[in-house]
Amino acid sequence: MKYQQNKQLSASELHRITQEIRYLAEIAAKVNPAQNQTLDKLQKITAEMEKLTEFVDSKDFTKIPYKARIELRENLLQSRKKLVDAIHQAPPPTDILQ
């Protein structure tokens, strides 16, 4: 159990999650209608994930307390869920039934 928890909080796992969120933000920007506020928010998410990826890959990441890593992972998973939901709620690109 402890091994699995440590693996979930490892730099490589958090790196993977940040990359996934960045990818989902790029997809969400493409499938959602061009609304400036939404696009700005998605661009900020992409930029934040780039910074977070760099931080996770740095030596400073090992200095983060265990509890903070847990909170970081939970927040990342919530962000990922919100992006997936936003992608699913995007209007279809055409009105023609396939």
Give me the pLDDT at residue 86, please. Answer: 84
Q: What are the tens digits of pLDDT across the range 18-39? A: 999 999 999 888 887 666 677 8
3-state SS track over the chain = CHHHHHHHCCHHHHHHHHHHHHHHHHHHHHHCCCCHHHHHHHHHHHHHHHHHHHHHHCHHHHHCCHHHHHHHHHHHHHHHHHHHHHHHCCCCCCCCCC
Cα 87 versus chain centre, distance: 13
More confident residue, 64 or 93: 64
Question: What's the chain's average pLDDT?
Answer: 85
More confident residue, 68 or 7: 68
Domain ranges of the chain: 2-88
Enter the pTM of the model: 0.80
72 confidence band (pLDDT: 50, 70, 90): very high
Q: What are the tens digits of pLDDT across the range 74-96? A: 999 999 999 999 888 877 767 77
